[in-house]
Every structure is written in structure tokens, then in C-alpha cells.
């Protein structure tokens, strides 16, 4: 589970001081030994669709950004389907914008109405001028022309709805293309490439492993009989690590989680987040290291 991003300053204002030269912690400081450095964010980036990998743009050790293209599954058929959907949408849009049938139906209705009224007027002047059978035919023609207007309007409305259908199909086709583009879900470093160009992958197959190391978690335990959650929650911390050949370095951070559970032995778990930094292009804090954490109490 990813922890929400906590924006930490490069240097936090601490209520406690740095450790003394003899290694002793200052007053109002809780010291936790053997704390574990662990990842906050990592992802086994999977393939979402079946197909042949036609390209992998990164390798182990590459720094990647969220949303960056990492690998590509063959999408030739998906691209073609998207093009077809686009053409079908254009046809539907042309039909929806064409009201010729409606205008023709209205014109035909006006002619039919005029012919019927002309026959009726003739019969009003001289009875029997236009036979009753012809008058019934003229009336039917007029009514049919009115219904043809309604039919033409309905067809135009259906064409408008078809545009919406084709737009949805085109969007779905675009997503099919996008699902064949394997992208990084986070800022991080590629630590493992499982597949290679030319190999077949199935949905769910891991393709790459990406981890975030610029922001890490420090986990430790406190004695419930000595410290209350309210004393440590949200408090600034200093992390001290042992580097190669006896060197030491410190990092600042903040407690972001205090477990509500007291575990066997009367201890409860906490973790803090710290910003990592580089030395000669390599990160100093590495997941798996054991560190000392000092919590600066109020």
C-alpha cells in the first residue's frame, strides 16, 4: 500500500539537537536501534494485453519518470482498428449533419397539401369536379408526407446517436492502443527487466520492476510502557547510518505512522519517511540497511 506523499524539507527544524560526539543522544529524544530501511513505492510493471514485445526502451539501473514509456507490445492491429473507428465516426458525423431528407420531406408535404386543398376547393365550387376516390388518394398522400417528415427527423436523431456510439468505439480503440504501451507508474529506478524484445507476453506477466528510492521508509519499534503514540506521531527524526569503512551520515525526516496495535513484547511499530540523497550518482540510503533513528520529542 502506498503512503501519501509527505513533502519534507531538505533540513527540518528539530526540537532536539544532533547526537553528541560520544554518540549519546540528547535529552527529549527517543532512540531506536536496528531500524529497517524499506521501500515506500515499488511496482512490478505488467503487460496488460497479450502480444509480442517489439521494444524495451530501458534497462536495469535506468532512472525513469512516472508515465514514461518503458516497453511496447505489437499494436499494429489495434492501430488499424482505431483508424477504422475514426473513419466510421466521420461517416456518422456526415450523416448527422445532413438534413436533406428532412427538408425534402417538408417540401413534399407542402406539395401534397396544396394538391389536396386544390381538389377540395374545386369540389366546394362544383360538387363532383374531383371524384371522391381521387380526393381520398390526395388525403392519403398528404398524410403520408407528414409522416415522412417525422421519419426523416427520427432518422436524423438516430444518426446523431450513432455519432455518440462511434465516438465511444473510437475511444475504446484508442485505449486498446494505449494498453499495449507499458509505462512506469512511478518515478524510480528499473531494478529488473524480466522480458526481452521478441518474446510473447500475456496479460499480468511482469515485464519490469521499478522501485522508488528518493524517498524511503524507516521502520522501528517503541516500548508502549515508555512512550505514548501522541508523543511521537508527526515528530521530526534524525536517521544515522553506518556507511562503508566506518563512515557515518545522517538524514532528516518525520514520523508519519504510529500503529494502534501493541505487539508481543509490549512494543508498537512506527515508521518515518526520509528524503534520500546521492553521492557520486549513487543513493546513500538503500532498502535493507539497518539504521539508528532518533525521534525528537516535544
Task: Please list the pLDDT of the chain residue by residue as tens digits (298 residues).
Answer: 444 333 333 333 333 344 554 445 566 889 999 999 999 999 999 999 999 999 999 999 999 999 999 999 999 999 999 999 999 999 999 988 988 888 999 999 999 889 889 888 888 888 888 888 988 898 898 899 999 999 999 999 999 999 999 999 999 999 999 999 999 999 999 999 999 999 999 999 999 999 999 999 999 999 999 999 999 999 999 999 988 888 889 999 999 999 999 998 899 999 999 999 988 888 899 999 999 999 999 7
Q: Do domains 29-41+212-296 and 52-74+180-210 have the same CATH topology?
A: no
Answer whether 172's CB lies under 8 Å from 164's CB.
Answer: no
The set of residues, in sequence order, having a beta carbon less than 8 Å from that of 178 and lying 6+ positions away, is none
Widest CA span in the chain: 128
pLDDT at 129: 85
pLDDT at 128: 83
CATH number of 29-41+212-296: 2.40.30.170
pLDDT at 5: 37
Answer whether 152's CB lies under 8 Å from 144's CB.
Answer: no
CATH class as words, domain 52-74+180-210:
mainly beta
> In the chain, what are the domain boundaries?
29-41+212-296, 52-74+180-210, 77-178
Distance CA 180, CA 47 (A): 7
* Strands, E assignment, the chain: 29-39, 42-46, 51-56, 63-64, 69-73, 181-183, 188-193, 200-201, 206-211, 215-223, 236-242, 248-263, 267-275, 278-279, 282-283, 290-296
DSSP single-letter state for residue 25: P
pLDDT at 2: 42
The set of residues, in sequence order, having a beta carbon less than 8 Å from that of 285 and lying 6+ positions away, is 37, 213, 216, 239, 241, 251, 274, 276, 277, 291
Distance CA 270, CA 60 (A): 32
The set of residues, in sequence order, having a beta carbon less than 8 Å from that of 54 and lying 6+ positions away, is 72, 73, 74, 197, 198
Hey, which residues does 230 pair with through a beta bridge? none
Amino acid at each position: 500500500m502506498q503512503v501519501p506523499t509527505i513533502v519534507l524539507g531538505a533540513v527540518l527544524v528539530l526540537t532536539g539537537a544532533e547526537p553528541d560526539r560520544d554518540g549519546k543522544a540528547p535529552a527529549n529524544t527517543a532512540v531506536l536501534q536496528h531500524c529497517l530501511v524499506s521501500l515506500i513505492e515499488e511496482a512490478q510493471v505488467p503487460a496488460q494485453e497479450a502480444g509480442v514485445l517489439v521494444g524495451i526502451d530501458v534497462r536495469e539501473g535506468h532512472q525513469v519518470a512516472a508515465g514514461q514509456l518503458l516497453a511496447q507490445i505489437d499494436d499494429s492491429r489495434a492501430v488499424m482498428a482505431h483508424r477504422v473507428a475514426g473513419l466510421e465516426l466521420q461517416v456518422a458525423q456526415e450523416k448527422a449533419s445532413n438534413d436533406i431528407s428532412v427538408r425534402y420531406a417538408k417540401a413534399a408535404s407542402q406539395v401534397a397539401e396544396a394538391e389536396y386543398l386544390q381538389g377540395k376547393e374545386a369540389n366546394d365550387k362544383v360538387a363532383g369536379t374531383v371524384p371522391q376516390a381521387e380526393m381520398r388518394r390526395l388525403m392519403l398522400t398528404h398524410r403520408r408526407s407528414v409522416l415522412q417528415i417525422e421519419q426523416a427527423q427520427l432518422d436524423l436523431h438516430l444518426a446523431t446517436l450513432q455519432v455518440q456510439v462511434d465516438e465511444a468505439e473510437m475511444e475504446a480503440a484508442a485505449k486498446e492502443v494505449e494498453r499495449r504501451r507499458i509505462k512506469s507508474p512511478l518515478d524510480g529506478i528499473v531494478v529488473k527487466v524480466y522480458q526481452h524484445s521478441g518474446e510473447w507476453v500475456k496479460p499480468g506477466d511482469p515485464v519490469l520492476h521499478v522501485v522508488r528510492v528518493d524517498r524511503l521508509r524507516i521502520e522501528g519499534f517503541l516500548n508502549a510502557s515508555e512512550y505514548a503514540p501522541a508523543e511521537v506521531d508527526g515528530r521530526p527524526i534524525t536517521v544515522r547510518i553506518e556507511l562503508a569503512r566506518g563512515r557515518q551520515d545522517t538524514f532528516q525526516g518525520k514520523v508519519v505512522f504510529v500503529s494502534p496495535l501493541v505487539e508481543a513484547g509490549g512494543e508498537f511499530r512506527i515508521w518515518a519517511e526520509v528524503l534520500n540523497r546521492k553521492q557520486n550518482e549513487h543513493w546513500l540510503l538503500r532498502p535493507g540497511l539497518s539504521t539508528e533513528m532518533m525521534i525528537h520529542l516535544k
